[in-house]
Amino acid sequence: MKIGFIGLGNMGSPMAGNLIKAGHDLVVFDLVEASVNMLLAQHPGKASAAASPRMLAGAGMDLIITMLPASQHVKAVYLGPEGLLANVPQRMALIDSSTIDPQTAREVASLSASQGNVMLDAPVSGGTGGAEAGTLTFMVGGNEADFDRFKNIFSKMGKNIVYCGASGNGQVAKVVNNMLLGISMIGTAEAMSLGVSLGMDPKILAGIINTSSGRCWSSDTYNPYPGVLENIPSSRGYTGGFGADLMLKDLGLAAEAAKLAKQPIPLGSLAQQIYQTFSMQGNGALDFSAIINLFRKK
């Protein structure tokens, strides 16, 4: 398959690499020329570069995948006279793996459909580690037949490929899961800090929670209290992992979606403010489990 790939950042670059390794022909684009050159150098002779999204749109692709930082970049790449939608041939298949607000995802998909194209929103979880190992989770929204058709492509980049329903639902699933993750992580941080300051051993406390009704992924797999679990960010100074500023971004997407849907999210919204405070204090680059530092005496 001839695949166009736009967006070669920390996530996009290894994803594109895995498609190349699987034998696909790639034409790539990124605003940062160095990122393009690095990818081409890593896979000599297996990929080529396009000079712009418009050029890529006209280069005879079977499928175009985008992996961009935020909504405004997705709009910039897809819309306007220089964008993909105005320049791809009819019946083109488009997959956007960026994490953006569901509303924008739906607007772009709807414009795409009105021009006879196929579009899937397919945000991922699993971080840069998952992108490199090809073990990402894809949450996919759009037509189910289209999902089935491209499932094989997703499986070159990920392990868990989930169909979420109509267009935009991939983004909904991602944003809603991550909001609950942010809440659980802060909740676990509060609970562990409180229990320890009341005299409990952190491992014993985690053990009890993990076999009880307080159990959650943040307590049993990614416990923020240092020393409770090995080989996760809390055991190595909160380096690596999923950055606090990325969690902040996702909580912001949840808050925006909730506002449009007229849904109250008191804990989700307070979690956003807590991560905003943490970020302002200069900690945005730490793993998001470092939020426990707000609740622990130094």
Task: Tell which positions 152-181 bind a second copy, by CB under 8 A.
Answer: 160, 162, 164-166, 168-169, 172-173, 176-181
Options 22-30, 73-81, 209-217, 225-233: segment touching a second copy (CB under 8 A): 209-217
Q: Is 294 exposed, middle or buried (0-12, 13-18, 19+ CB in 10 A)?
A: middle
The one catalytic residue in 156, 174, 203, 249 is 174
Q: Which residues, including other chains, have CB under 8 Å from residue 81's CB and lie 6 or more apart?
A: none
Options 22-30, 115-123, 145-153, 262-270: segment touching a second copy (CB under 8 A): 262-270
Residue 174 annotated among the catalytic residues of the structure: yes
Q: Which of 201, 237, 239, 285 binds a second copy (CB under 8 A)?
A: 201
Structural contact between residues 21 and 48, judged by C-beta atoms closer than 8 angstroms? no
Q: Which of 51, 114, 145, 297 binds a second copy (CB under 8 A)?
A: 297
Torsion over CA: 203, 285, 162, 142 (sign): positive
CB of 144 to a second copy, least distance (A): 12
**Is position 213 an interface residue for a second copy (rule: CB under 8 A)?**
yes
3-class DSSP state for residue 71? helix
Q: Which of residues 241-260 bind a second copy (CB under 8 A)?
A: 252, 254-259
Q: Which of residues 85-144 bind a second copy (CB under 8 A)?
A: 102, 125, 137, 139
Nearest-10 Cα torsion for 93, 98, 103, 108: -30
Structural contact between residues 73 and 98, judged by C-beta atoms closer than 8 angstroms? yes
Q: Which of 97, 219, 283, 289 binds a second copy (CB under 8 A)?
A: 219
Q: Which CA distances in Å does 271 have to 38, 239, 264?
A: 38, 21, 13
Residues that are catalytic: 174
